[in-house]
Amino acid sequence: MEYINKKFLLNKRPVGMPEDNCWKLIDEKIDSLNKGEILIEVKFLSIDPYMRGRMNDGVSYAAPAKIGEPMTGETVGEVVDSKSSLYEIGEVVCIHKGWQTYIKAKDTDPSIYKVPLSTIPMSSYLGAVGMPGRTAFFGLNRVGKPKEKETVVVSAASGAVGSVVGQLALMHGCHVIGVAGGQSKCEFVKETLGFHECVDYKSENFKTDLKNVCSNGIDIYFENVGGPVTKEVSYLLNQDARVPICGFISQYNEKDMLNSDTPFKILSKLENKPFHRFFVVTEWMDEWQNATRILSNHVAKGEIKYKETITEGFENAPQALRDVLTGKNFGKQIIKI
């Protein structure tokens, strides 16, 4: 059987918000497999804020995406052909091989793993039970180190990472406050996810509202956004506060990142500097399987709830990334192939 793979190649590096001409959509015929290779039909593509950073050609925690190569991204799909003793046709796998509709991969690829048989939707392995969920799990537990009755503030609280952070913090017995943009997102965070409070950063009263719900100060601030939110949070941090820095989406399109108000710059100016560090989920790669099992059990039992924005059509991936960068999506952004 002949397979035609559609893939988005990085065509040029963006300045500011990435436009459509930053990518090139091409078709390619899939060659026959060699020994030890599998072919995956992609069902869902993950769209994440970090992708904007990978489009830049600068010093970062990970190598930039290369011009002429597939745009960075994780997918989940079904094995449709196999010349491997490790993977059978019909098995579901996740793999980090970019924006493609069919992926030919070696069975030794370190980014591939089997999705366990479960009642959980396949798409959740790109969200609450996937990389964002694991990011929340390790960032909170290993960097934040929550203790019972501490106050935890989570920015981008309705998003794929933030929503899981807050629910895990609730399980630790913490007082959990979300920060989100708009009434509907704040209602979801409080009423569906069960956070104690959620403050709307778009509100004129944001500064006052945040101060009112943080009457005991802030012990852990899980950073996802940067900018003005970080600045207001910084005034309320307690002695011995911890700030896991997952990202700062509000500044990903800045032309001059070194001179922008990053969380590092804001926090380092404080007289009482909190423990803060940037982290990436790959630091705990050898523990991913266990974290995925823990998260999937929580989701299966209804202890972790999540929301997805599923956009139909591979060709809509560029717009979906822009939606993530501007906060138009709600929850985890996914492309259904």
Positive or negative CA dihedral for 17, 21, 22, 25? positive
pLDDT digits (tens, 9 = 90+) for 19-59: 999 999 999 999 899 999 999 999 999 999 889 988 988 75
Q: Which candidate, 49, 60, 97, places its Cα nearest to that of 77? A: 97
Q: Which candidate, 28, 72, 103, places its Cα nearest to that of 337? A: 103
CB atoms within 10 A of CB 228: 14
233 or 64, higher pLDDT = 233
Where residue 128 falls among pLDDT bands split at 50, 70, 90?
very high
Q: What is the mean pLDDT of residues 128-154?
A: 97
The model's pTM: 0.86
Q: Which residue has the tokens 């503030």?
A: 153
**Residue 14 pLDDT more than 60?**
yes
CB atoms within 10 A of CB 266: 20
Question: Distances in Å between the alpha carbon of 96 and those of 33, 124, 184?
Answer: 19, 15, 32
Q: What local confidence, expressed as pLDDT, does residue 62 receive?
A: 67
- Cα–Cα distance measured from residue 47 to residue 116, given in angstroms and rounded to the nearest whole number: 22
Q: What local confidence, expressed as pLDDT, does residue 31 receive?
A: 83
Whether residue 333 contacts residue 309, with contact meaning beta carbons closer than 8 Å, is answered with yes
- Cα–Cα distance measured from residue 179 to residue 200, given in angstroms and rounded to the nearest whole number: 6
Pinpoint the alpha helices (H) of the chain: 50-54, 131-138, 162-171, 183-187, 206-213, 228-234, 263-268, 288-300, 317-326
When mean pLDDT is compared across 54-58, 73-77, 295-299, the lowest value belongs to 54-58
Q: Which residue has the tokens 């794929």?
A: 160
CA angle in degrees (0–180, nearest 5) for 292-172-267: 90
Would you state the structure tokens that stand for residue 6, as one six-digit string?
């559609």
Q: What is the mean pLDDT of the chain?
A: 92
pLDDT digits (tens, 9 = 90+) for 312-336: 999 999 999 999 998 888 889 999 9
Ordered by where they begin, the domains of the chain are: 4-127+306-336 (3.90.180.10), 131-282 (3.40.50.720)
pLDDT digits (tens, 9 = 90+) for 214-229: 999 999 999 998 889 9
Percent of the chain with pLDDT over 90: 79
CB atoms within 10 A of CB 36: 15
Give 70's strand partners. 9
- DSSP three-state, residue 178: strand
Rounded to the nearest 10 degrees, the angle between the axes of helix 288-300 and helix 131-138 is 100
pLDDT digits (tens, 9 = 90+) for 247-293: 876 555 545 545 667 888 899 889 889 999 999 998 998 898 899 99
First to last CA, the chain: 19
